[in-house]
Structure 1
Amino acid sequence: MKTTQRTGWTPSRLREHREAHGLTLEAAGERLRQAAARHGLTVPAANFQTLWGHEQGTVFPGPHYRRAYCLLYQATEPELGFRPALPGESQKAEIVISDLPPPADPVADNAAAQVIEEAFTKVSIGGIEPGNSPQALLRNRVVDAWRRRHGGGSPKPILVLVGGYAGSGKTEFSRFLSDITGWAFLDKDSLTRCIVERLLVSLGGDPNDRHTDLYLKEVRPLEYRCLMETAWDNLNIGTSTILSAPFIAELKDEAWFTRLENRCAAKGIDVAAIWVRCDPESMREYIEFRGAARDAWKLDNWDQYAEGLAVDTSPPTAHITVDNRLGAAISLADQTREALKRILA
C-alpha cells in the first residue's frame, strides 16, 4: 500500500514483536501466510522483502496484512504500532490463545462461551445491557448456537440482519457470526450482483450503477426482495440465517422492521439487527483494497458520497451497534476465531 503520513504509525513495533517471537523475516513471512490462509486473507508476496518494508516504514501494510500480523503476534493494531487506540479500546490483546487450556470435554466447558460473550461485549458500542435486552438476547443466541453446533442448544431459528455502509466490515462480521454459530450466511452482492448488472444494462443503465434513480427505484427493491425471499426459504425449514447488506433504508424504517418482526414472531422465529459502524477513512481504505467496479462512483466522488454518511449514529431499529472504527471489531473477531479453534484443538 502506498505510504502516506499516518497518525500513530510506529513501524519499529513490528520488528520488536518479530524478534520477541524469535522469528527471522523469512520465518515470519511463512507464518504470516499460514495465518492468512486460515482466515481467508490475501497477503500477496509475504516474503522477507515485503516484511522488511513494513518494519522500515517504507510501505504501510494493507487491511489483510494488518489482520494477519495481529493473528501472528496475538496483538492488537495499536500494540503493533499501526494506529493509536480508540477511546476505551484496550491496547493489549485480551484474548490470548496460549492462556486457554484445551479442555478434556470442549462441549461441556464454559471457555468457549466466555470468549464469545467477551467478544460481543467489547465490540458493541455501549456494551451489552443486562437482563432480557435485545443485545443480551442476541449474544445468548450466538452462545447457544455454538453449544448446539457442538452438542446442545435450542432449535428455534433466528434471522440476523447485519447492515452498514460500503466498506464498514459488515460482511466480515457476518462471516464471523456464521463461523461460530453455523447459521446460514447470505451476502446480498454475492447473491444478486450478476442479475443486478444484467438488469441495469437491459434498462439502458450502467452495470456498476448504485446511486442513480434507475438503480434505487427500479432495481434495488427487487434486489432486496430476492435476498429476503431466499432468507425465508431457509427460515421456513428451521435454518437460522444471517443476511449481509447495507439495509440503510430498511433499518431506518421502523414500520418495515415492525412488519418483519411480526412475520417472524408468527412463525416462531427470533429476529435481530446489527449495525456495523466505521469511520470514513477506514471504509475508503477497504473499498480501494477490494477494487470492486460497483464502487467506482463512490471513489470518484468521495467527498460527495461521504457527506451523505451518518457515521456517528445508528438506525433506530438496530439492537447492537458494532464499533468497527479503524477495523477494531474485525481484528477482535479474528482473535476470537483463533481462541475458539484452540479450545476445540
Structure 2
Amino acid sequence: MSRLVFICGHAGTGKTTLARKLIGPLMQATGSPFCLLDKDTLYGRYSAAAMHMLTGDANDRDSPLFLDHLREPEYRGLVDTARDNLELGVSALVVAPLSREVRERRLFDRAWLGIGEDVSVRVVWVQVSEETAHQRIMARANPNDAYKLAHWDEYRQRRFVPSGDMCNDLLMFDNTAPGAADHDVLLARILGEPQAASATVHPLPV
C-alpha cells in the first residue's frame, strides 16, 4: 500500500524539521520508499522569480497578490507531484502549510487528491503557540518571512487551531519541545498502529 502523509501547519511550527525526522523511520517501518516533497523547495525559486517580475519583491509569499494568484497553482502542483510518485509505487511525505485545505478538509477528499482507496492518507497538523512561532520565524531570518513579520497583525488573523469537525482524522502534534517518545507516538499514529500507553501527543492549551 502506498502512503500519502501531509505535514501541515502555520509558519514557524517546525514542519520541515519534523518531516525529516519522520521519513527515515517511515521507510524503515513500511519497507517502502518515500519521497519528501517540500513546497518551498519545489516552488521557492520559481515563485521568487515570478514575484520579483510582478512586484520587485522576490521574497513576498504572503501579500494578497501572491495568495490570490500563485498560492493555488503551487499547492495543486505539489499534490499532482505526490500523485505521480504514488502511481509509481513511491509513498509521499508532503510538507506545506495547507491551512486552507485543512480547514476545508480537502486533504481527506480522494477525488480532489486524485487518488484511489489503495492509498493510505494521513494528515498531521503541527502546532506551537503564536509566541513560539513568532520567535522561531525571527530567529531563522528567512527573507520569505519579511512580509509576515512586517504585517504580523494581518498575518496572525490567518492562524487558527483546528477544532470541531475539522479535527476528524487529523493528527494533532505539539511541536514545542517534543521528545523521542512523542515522535514514536506520532509515527505509530501515522502507521495506524495503537498508541503506546506510556506516551501521548500533548495538545496545546486553548
Short-chain TM bin: 0.7 to 0.9
Residues 235, 291 of structure 1: CA spacing in aligned structure 2 closer, same or farther, 3 A cutoff? same
**Among candidates 242, 260, 269, match of residue 119 of structure 2:** 269
1:291 and 1:253 map into 2 onto residues whose CA distance is: 31
Task: Give the TM-score of the pair, scaled to structure 2.
Answer: 0.75
Structure 1: state its 5+ residue gaps. Answer: 1-155, 337-345
Amino acid at match of 1:196: S
Give the Å deviation of 1:334.
9.2
**Secondary structure, aligned partner of 1:206:** coil
Asked if 1:257 is matched to 2:102, the reply is no
CA contact (8 A) 2:82 2:92 kept: yes
Percent identity between matched residues is 33
Q: Which residues in structure 2 correspond to 1:180-259 (within 5 Å)? A: 180-182=25-27, 183-204=34-55, 206-254=57-105, 257-259=108-110
CA contact (8 A) 1:264 1:271 kept: no
Per-residue Cα deviation, 1:293-332 (whole angstroms, up to 9, x for no partner)? 01012222323322432147484455210112xx222x43
Residues 334, 273 of structure 1: CA spacing in aligned structure 2 closer, same or farther, 3 A cutoff? closer
In the other structure, the counterpart of 1:70 is none
CA contact (8 A) 1:254 1:316 kept: no
In the other structure, the counterpart of 2:136 is 286
In the other structure, the counterpart of 1:104 is none
CA contact (8 A) 1:279 1:311 kept: no
Asked if 1:171 is matched to 2:22, the reply is no
Asked if 1:297 is matched to 2:144, the reply is no
Structure 2: state its 5+ residue gaps. Answer: 28-33, 185-206
Task: Give the TM-score of the pair, scaled to structure 1.
Answer: 0.47
Q: How many residues align?
A: 177
In the other structure, the counterpart of 2:203 is none
CA contact (8 A) 2:110 2:116 kept: no
In the other structure, the counterpart of 1:64 is none
Asked if 1:328 is matched to 2:177, the reply is yes
Give the Å deviation of 1:234.
1.2
Higher RCO, 1 or 2 (CA under 8 Å, sep at least 6)? 2
**Secondary structure, aligned partner of 2:55:** coil
Residues 244, 335 of structure 1: CA spacing in aligned structure 2 closer, same or farther, 3 A cutoff? closer
Structure (1 or 2) with the larger CA radius of gyration: 1
Q: Which residues in structure 2 correspond to 1:81-160 (within 5 Å)? A: 156-160=1-5
Amino acid at match of 2:58: P
**Secondary structure, aligned partner of 1:161:** strand
**Secondary structure, aligned partner of 1:233:** helix
CA contact (8 A) 1:205 1:214 kept: no
1:256 and 1:311 map into 2 onto residues whose CA distance is: 17
Structure having the higher strand fraction is: 2
**Secondary structure, aligned partner of 1:284:** helix
Structure 1 stretches (4+) deviating beyond 3 angstroms? Answer: 259-263, 311-318, 331-336
**Secondary structure, aligned partner of 1:265:** coil
**Secondary structure, aligned partner of 1:224:** helix
Give the Å deviation of 1:186.
1.2
Amino acid at match of 1:290: R
Over aligned residues, Cα RMSD in angstroms? 2.5
